[in-house]
Amino acid sequence: MTKKEIAQLYIEFLENGDINQIIKLFSNKGKVTSPIYGTKLASDFYKELDEDTLNSKLQFKGLFEEKDTQRIALYFKYNWTLKNNSYVEFEVVDIFEFDENNKIEHLKIIYDTVKSRVFIKDLK
């Protein structure tokens, strides 16, 4: 699979809450850096996200590939309903760094946490 195909699958799996399929896109040591959850192994991050999430709706806005690198950026709108029925909407840029086998080695998530941070704090 190409990096673009993996990024497109990622957004589909994320919206469907298919955590096991998302984790398969990562290398064994793959990590996620999130402004709210910090840096964690992908398996730990997505399990925690799944525990906090009731529903997700994503609106794809763009895919950007940096030539001659192992990086891609995915831009989307995230409509997130937490387990306590709190709802937050924000735009996200996910920067994927791939290994030589096109497995995600690191995913850096970038978004404004002003609203979501409060909701996560209330959820915990």
**pLDDT tens digits along 22-41:** 999 999 999 999 999 999 99
**CA 5 to chain CA mean position, Å:** 15
Instruction: Give the pair of three-digit tokens for residue 58.
Output: 């994503």
pTM: 0.89
Note whether 60 and 92 are within 8 A (CB). Answer: no
- Of 3.40.50.2300, 3.10.450.50, 3.30.300.130, 1.20.1250.20, the CATH number of 3-123 is 3.10.450.50
Q: Give pLDDT tens digits for 50-82.
A: 999 999 999 999 999 988 999 999 999 999 898
Instruction: Give the pair of three-digit tokens for residue 11.
Output: 């957004």
